[in-house]
Amino acid sequence: MNVDVIGVPIDLGANRRGVDLGPSAIRYGGLKKAITNLNIAYQDLGNIDVPIPESYDEYEDERLKHLDEIAYVNQTLATLVSKSLLDGNFPIVLGGDHSIAAGSILGTQSVLGNIGVIWIDAHGDFNTRETTLSGNLHGMSLAAAAGFGALEMVKFKAKDVNYVNPKKIVLVGARDIDDQEAKLIKESGITVFTIADVDEYGIKEVMLRALEIVSTDTEGFHISFDIDVINPNEAPGVGTPVDGGLTYREAHLAAELIANNKKLRSLEIVEVNPIFDHMNQTGKLAVSLICSMIGKRILGSH
């Protein structure tokens, strides 16, 4: 495996500043050393150039904040992810807020044609312009990648976008979903395992079911891992913490089960916000989770 790391220092999709520092926090947490210690070739492609909110005085649409800028970033990201895959490499995307998922998912989809997605997150991120309570696009990216809602986020080319089949999307760990968003999720056909399902069935059973869905009749799958799925006492450096999340070990078991499945094609880890962190605790956690997802084990690499 040859890894391509792509940083996306963006906080245009969120309502709390600081998540644009996430890629630096993860790199500073020892990402390069940790990956090369697994005997994996590491190439850092640097950061995508992202405008800052202070560049703009107002939004064109209060319900789709920074839409044009985020669409441009996603287009750039999709191109980089696609090139990485076409070069035979494994792209790892570092966020930044979760609006970038529209780019990373459809970059993978554009190469493979038919992917599954496991979305590990406290939130559904399945809002639309009509359902959003905030206008923040980091809460709309999964819906856009599946062909719902703010499709301007993902219309990168003149030809039709190949959206991800909702029946091949699984949301894991959800515990904070808006009412109208929940209705759209139910209608969409995606599979949801809430944190209550994790409590009832255990993270192993939930992940095995999720992996079965995304790896059956697909060309591979993408992992979108929002660090706020983890309990805030173990991952304090996030912008939208929600009590009652996955434990450290549950998150790592999920990551290890992902690595056991040989159809993982790309991944991203998002929403690390070092402004709210303690001694880069969350950045280091992100590094360890990435390594677990690409094969690290207690007794050596997988």
pLDDT digits (tens, 9 = 90+) for 237-252: 998 999 999 999 999 9
Q: Both tokens of residue 157?
A: 């080319």
* Active-site pick, 66, 138, 222, 252: 138
Strand partners, 44: 5
pLDDT above 80 for 158? no
The two tokens of residue 62 are 């209060």
pTM for this entry: 0.96
pLDDT tens digits, one per residue of 50-92: 988 777 767 778 888 989 899 999 999 999 999 999 999 999 9
Is 226 a catalytic site residue? yes
In this prediction, residue 301 has a pLDDT band, given cuts at 50, 70 and 90, of: low
DSSP 15: S
Tokens 């690290």, located at residue: 296
| Amino acid in position 211 | L
Q: Which of 4, 228, 250, 268 is catalytic?
A: 228
Does the annotation count 61 as an active-site position?
no
Query: What pLDDT does 300 receive?
Result: 63
Residue 156: pLDDT band by 50, 70, 90 thresholds? low
**49 is annotated as an active-site residue:** no
Confidence of residue 153 (pLDDT cuts 50, 70, 90): confident
Q: Over 90: is that where the pLDDT of 151 sits?
A: no
Instruction: Find the catalytic residue in 4, 20, 125, 250.
Output: 125
Query: Average pLDDT in the 134-149 region?
Result: 93
User: In whole angstroms, what is the distance from residue 150 CA to residue 190 CA?
Assistant: 18
- Using the predicted structure, report yes or no on whether residue 164 has a pLDDT greater than 90: yes
For residue 272, count CB atoms less than 10 angstroms from its CB and return exposed for 0-12, middle for 13-18, buried for 19 or more.
buried
Q: Residue 149 to residues 113, 184, 255, 267: CA-CA distances in angstroms?
A: 21, 10, 30, 23
User: pLDDT of 267-294, one tens digit each?
Assistant: 999 999 999 999 999 999 999 999 999 9
pLDDT at 287: 98
| Residue among 11, 178, 181, 226 flagged as catalytic | 226
Name all domains of the chain by residue range, CATH numbers in brackets. Answer: 2-293 (3.40.800.10)
pLDDT at 15: 83
Region at 189 (left for phi over 0; alpha for psi -120 to 50; beta for the rest): left
Q: Percentage of residues in the chain with pLDDT exceeding 90?
A: 85
Question: Is residue 12 a contact partner of residue 51, using CB atoms and an 8 Å limit?
Answer: yes
Q: Is 271 a catalytic residue?
A: yes
Catalytic entry in 66, 98, 222, 252: 98
pLDDT of 157 over the 70 cut: no
Active site residue 199: no
- Residue 118, C-beta contacts closer than 8 angstroms, at least 6 positions apart: 170, 172, 210, 211, 214, 221, 222, 223, 224, 258
Question: Whose CA is closest to 229, among 263, 198, 186?
Answer: 198
Q: Is the pLDDT of residue 255 over 60?
A: yes
**11 in helix, strand or coil?**
coil
Active site residue 123: yes
DSSP 217-273: TSS-EEEEEEGGGB-TTT---BSS--SS-B-HHHHHHHHHHHHHSTTEEEEEEE-B-
Considering 11, 69, 123, 268, which one is annotated as catalytic?
123
**Could you report the per-residue pLDDT of 82-128, keeping only the tens digit for each?**
999 999 999 999 999 999 999 999 999 999 999 999 999 999 999 99
Q: Which of 45-49, 68-72, 148-152 has the lowest mean pLDDT?
A: 148-152
Residue-wise pLDDT tens digits, 185-219: 999 999 999 999 999 999 999 999 999 999 999 99
Contact of 5 with 43, CB cutoff 8 Å: yes
